[in-house]
């Protein structure tokens, strides 16, 4: 990662106040660093829908549904409680 790009983003971040201002600049930083996809999520509680935890993200088409169906049940915090 180019440290200069990160420092520039952090300087801009100090001036921005809203998600609508921050998100395009964050995505521009990710693009310039070579990231096609990303996700920012908060830690789930048991039985929470993982899609509702997404704070920001850019995913391949259909990826969230694949994640919930195939991967989330295997991750701690996503699995149903033992009976």
Domain boundaries, the chain: 1-35, 37-83
**pLDDT band (50, 70, 90) for residue 83:** very low
Report the C-alpha gap between 79 and 46 in whole angstroms.
Answer: 7
Per-residue pLDDT tens for 7-51? Answer: 999 999 999 999 899 999 999 999 999 999 888 877 767 777 666
Q: Which residues of 19-49 are buried (b: 16+ CB within 10 A; e: fewer)?
A: eeeeeeebeebbeeeeeeeeeeeeebeeeee
């Amino acid at each position: 990662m180019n440290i200069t790009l990160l420092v520039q983003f952090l300087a801009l971040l100090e001036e921005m106040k809203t998600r609508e201002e921050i998100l395009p600049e964050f995505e521009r930083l990710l693009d310039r660093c070579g990231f096609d996809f990303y996700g920012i999520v908060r830690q789930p509680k048991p039985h929470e829908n993982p899609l509702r935890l997404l704070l920001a993200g850019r995913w391949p088409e259909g990826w969230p549904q694949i994640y919930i169906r195939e991967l989330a049940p295997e991750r701690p915090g996503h699995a149903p409680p033992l009976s």
